[in-house]
Structure 1
């Protein structure tokens, strides 16, 4: 390695690009079934009830295995965990191209959710190791934007693939892409202190800024699962603040992932195909929001603004903006409906740097586990919110459903205001042992 006197390398940004691509592939394999649904259900003779169960299967398994996924990230490290997750969920995606009916497809969607479960806890663990505090919100915003970029820009690509190769070819193609990328991740990714392209100046820059460079070194010795660790992850008020906030953020997200097209077509009378540009506006707004959030937050930190204000402000403002979704209840113009939806989803993007609080608050030896709990509670929104919306809208009036989404966004803002408190890492006995290990 080169000496400290030399200019720091910028390997961390290449690592960030790897995470971004992984997130895009992650969301590609979540959304490909929505593109394939019409042709697939026709070929397999699936009823609407069966199709609804297939749509929900991913969320059940994904949420249920978030905590084990976080444990995996702590126990086996980012390189092995992410490669395993990418390759296995991509194999399962490929196999969906050979399914023969409801039972096999339902099982494969469950498996997709299960194998994707470690992905976001691992994303967070990588960023916590590779980025100092003053750059971390921008890094999280950048990789999180991959989910919105995928939704906004990748869908036409998936439609094109299906047009030429059929719905089975769509699953096979996206599965092959993921398998290839999983192999590349394992070949090229290394933790900071093990990467042969990073110099000591960059390591010093990361570590002096609070990046957990050395904490990744002895993961095999220190990261054995203990039930007390799980209790620790549920024992702090500030962690419950970010857990509830994540449920609120994901509630708005899952409205747009599930009910948004149906709301436009069936409840507001829009032709979704003909108004494709307008319908994509909220996804583009969210993409802009999440990028703006990270850069603004880090800029505030660099200017000396307290970490609490710099990190909380975009999230609280974003969640409050998401409550504007209720405005769509009071307008009939297509442009105004889309405007309120775009403002709400822009706010959702603005609030989507919430993972920065896992990096900042979690005990050093529990970053992966805390991320798993965080994403588990957030993932419950993928199960609860679509079901509740369906119940609220069953009489033909969607207005109560939008009130419900707005109320959850307000709850999330209040959680950050009143529960999170001072932004500082939670210290426990294991952290003291960790500090002695890495000195």
Structure 2
């Protein structure tokens, strides 16, 4: 137990250090997201130096995401066994190293190898972030905290296009990767110093804050969750989203045989696939199809991710405070709305301001349910097994993210951009249908052994 927890007065105010932790999460993952996003801005210039087709360019993007997806399960097991504090800083340093190495390439083979290395290096980061949120926040704040975390995934691409445009104009595309390699190393040491695996290990957390964080887990979850969600207010919605009590997933076997977990992973697969296409291909689309200048490309490319930051924070707040910890409504709204926005992008305006506003709205709607995919397993799995359940969901999402840039390249080489947008609209509708089949957990079923003992 930390020294700050001993001898604390009963009437002391909570220290609120958990919000410093979520601030660190935001900073670390903003840099990680920037490290993966900068290739999208650099790609048109890399292709001038190294000739490649659209399919080959899409495959290059997919290599990172495939390695990233395959790293999820091993990262989940490693984080569960060794703790986030040991795994995450090392992953951040490795991420920075591979980012810098991309700037040194002299062949496509080297570029592919370093992108694979970057994907493996970043693999432990999302598991570490969600595990930290699960340990450091009470249930009623987890959606908000996760919304802040996932807004970093989108804020990275907000800062990347304009910064990269300036770096390319002044120096060249290689310097992009040298520049973005530096912050991750600094933040790795800051994380190790500031953030512990559990709040009761932190010298910055007083007893009042610790009691607040652990209030939900100090009593049986079957008794604490259901009363906070009066069914009378959401009867129609609860029937539609299949709200019910669910059994706790406290073993690996239960996690790997849970349709709720796999259904969430599949829904995330389609939604993250769309996000991946926008991240990887929008800069190329703006330059080659819309014929935007480098400056306009940098500004308009950032628009969907500005919207996504808004959508993530708004979605986390709505699921926590308005919908009282219901996660499926936001996920389903995003799926339906994104399908509609993809259809609108087929006949999009040429004016940079109008197109930027359309992309901004697309980002908001795509992301309003985004954080719920990461929070959803928290209501199903025990804390000790949560890293595994989170790894399954994130692996599903990243496999979708890995597939879609390559599929986009194939579609562009044979059909054209309209078919790309239709493909994304259909994918989003598939996500909605899958989400209909999973339950909305309102609490945990009473274990049979406990009932018998009582």
TM-score by length of 1: 0.84
> Which residue of the other structure, out of 6, 12, 29, is the alignment partner of 1:6?
12
**Deviation, structure 1 residue 399:** 2.9
Q: Secondary structure at the match of 1:364?
A: coil
CA–CA distance in 1 between the matches of 2:355 and 2:43? 26
Range with greater deviation from structure 2 (369-378 or 324-333): 324-333
CA–CA distance in 1 between the matches of 2:216 and 2:62? 41
Kept in 2, the 8 Å contact 1:90–1:179? The answer is yes
CA–CA distance in 2 between the matches of 1:77 and 1:139? 20
**Deviation, structure 1 residue 90:** 1.1
Q: Secondary structure at the match of 2:385?
A: helix
Kept in 2, the 8 Å contact 1:321–1:343? The answer is no
CA–CA distance in 2 between the matches of 1:142 and 1:362? 22
Structure 2: segments with no counterpart, 5+ residues: 220-249
CA–CA distance in 2 between the matches of 1:364 and 1:96? 37
CA–CA distance in 2 between the matches of 1:298 and 1:85? 30
Kept in 2, the 8 Å contact 1:73–1:121? The answer is yes
TM-score by length of 2: 0.81
The match for 1:271 is 292
Which string of whole-angstrom CA distances, capped at 9 and with x for unpartnered residues, describes residues 313-350 of structure 1?
Answer: 22221221111124326635336765554433321110
The match for 1:205 is 212
Q: Residue 140 in 1 paired to residue 146 in 2?
A: yes
Structure 1: segments with no counterpart, 5+ residues: 213-227, 433-439
In structure 2, do the counterparts of structure 1 residues 245 and 211 end up closer, same or farther at CA, with 3 Å as the change threshold? farther
Kept in 2, the 8 Å contact 1:59–1:383? The answer is yes
Q: Secondary structure at the match of 1:258?
A: helix
The match for 2:202 is 195
**Deviation, structure 1 residue 186:** 1.3
> Which residue of the other structure, out of 104, 112, 115, is the alignment partner of 2:118?
112
In structure 2, do the counterparts of structure 1 residues 330 and 32 end up closer, same or farther at CA, with 3 Å as the change threshold? closer
| 1:290-439 matched pairs, under 5 angstroms | 290-300=312-322, 305=324, 307-308=325-326, 311-328=327-344, 331=347, 333-334=349-350, 341-353=359-371, 354-424=373-443
The match for 1:170 is 176
CA–CA distance in 1 between the matches of 2:416 and 2:111? 32
Range with greater deviation from structure 2 (243-252 or 167-176): 167-176
Q: Residue 284 in 1 paired to residue 291 in 2?
A: no
Number of residue pairs matched? 408
In structure 2, do the counterparts of structure 1 residues 264 and 172 end up closer, same or farther at CA, with 3 Å as the change threshold? closer
Range with greater deviation from structure 2 (228-237 or 141-150): 228-237
Q: RMSD of aligned C-alpha atoms?
A: 2.8
**Deviation, structure 1 residue 138:** 0.6
CA–CA distance in 1 between the matches of 2:319 and 2:203? 31
Kept in 1, the 8 Å contact 2:40–2:280? The answer is no
Q: Residue 92 in 1 paired to residue 93 in 2?
A: no
The match for 1:219 is none
Q: Secondary structure at the match of 2:439?
A: coil
Range with greater deviation from structure 2 (27-36 or 247-256): 27-36
